[in-house]
Amino acid sequence: MAEVQTWKCTTCDADFKSGHWKGCGGDAEVEHRVAPKTYYNLSDGGLPTALKVNNISPLRQTVNAKGMTVTIPGKKAQFLNGTFTTDDPEIQFNMEKRGFTMTAEQFREAQESDKEKAGHAKAELQEERTLRHKAERELAELKAAKSKAKAAA
C-alpha cells in the first residue's frame, strides 16, 4: 500500500493528509494551501504547451443558502508556455497522479536541445549558401575566361 502523503499548510501551519483538503484554520469550508509547485509540459514536438487540464478535482454538488443545488465545477490547470504553478494541494496531488512529473531541469534541457537543433540547422544552411556562392563564382570566372579566350582567338 502506498504511503499516505502528509502535507504542511502554509496558511494555518497544520499537517494534513491527502484528501483532507479543507479545514484550514479550523474552518471546514476553507482549503489548506501548500508551498507552490510548478509543473511542466511539452507537446510531442517538444514545444511548451498552453494545455488546459479540466476536472482535476471531481464536480461537486452542494446546496446553497437558498436551498438550491449548485454544481461546483472541478478544478483545472492551465499551462502557459509549458508551465503551471499552484499552491493548491488537491491540484498538486492530482497532477502527479496524472503523470505531470517533468522537472524544471528536464524542461530546460528539452528546450535547450531544441535550440541546439535549430542552431545546427542554421549552420548547415549557412554552409550550403557559402558552397553555392563559391560554385556560382567559379562558374562566372570560367565563363569570363572562356569569352576572353574567344575574343583572343
Is 24 a residue that touches Zn ion (CB under 5 A)? yes
Q: Which stretch binds Zn ion (CB under 5 A): 8-16, 77-85, 90-98, 121-129?
A: 8-16
Q: How far is the CB of 93 from Zn ion (least distance, A)?
A: 15
Is 47 a residue that touches Zn ion (CB under 5 A)? no
Which has the closest alpha carbon to 58: 10, 99, 90, 14? 90
**Which C-beta is closer to Zn ion: that of 8 or that of 137?**
8
- Residue 38 contacts residue 84 (beta carbons within 8 Å): yes
CA distances from 123 to 88, 110, 119, 126, 131 (A): 45, 20, 6, 5, 12
Q: How far is the CB of 85 from Zn ion (least distance, A)?
A: 19
Is 32 a residue that touches Zn ion (CB under 5 A)? yes
Bridge partners, 88 (sequence order):
none
CA–CA dist 26, 46 (Å, integer): 44
Is 11 a residue that touches Zn ion (CB under 5 A)? yes
Is 7 a residue that touches Zn ion (CB under 5 A)? no
Bridge partners, 48 (sequence order):
42
**Which C-beta is closer to Zn ion: that of 11 or that of 54?**
11
Is 9 a residue that touches Zn ion (CB under 5 A)? yes
Q: How far is the CB of 23 from Zn ion (least distance, A)?
A: 7
Residue ranges binding Zn ion (CB under 5 A): 9, 11-12, 24, 32
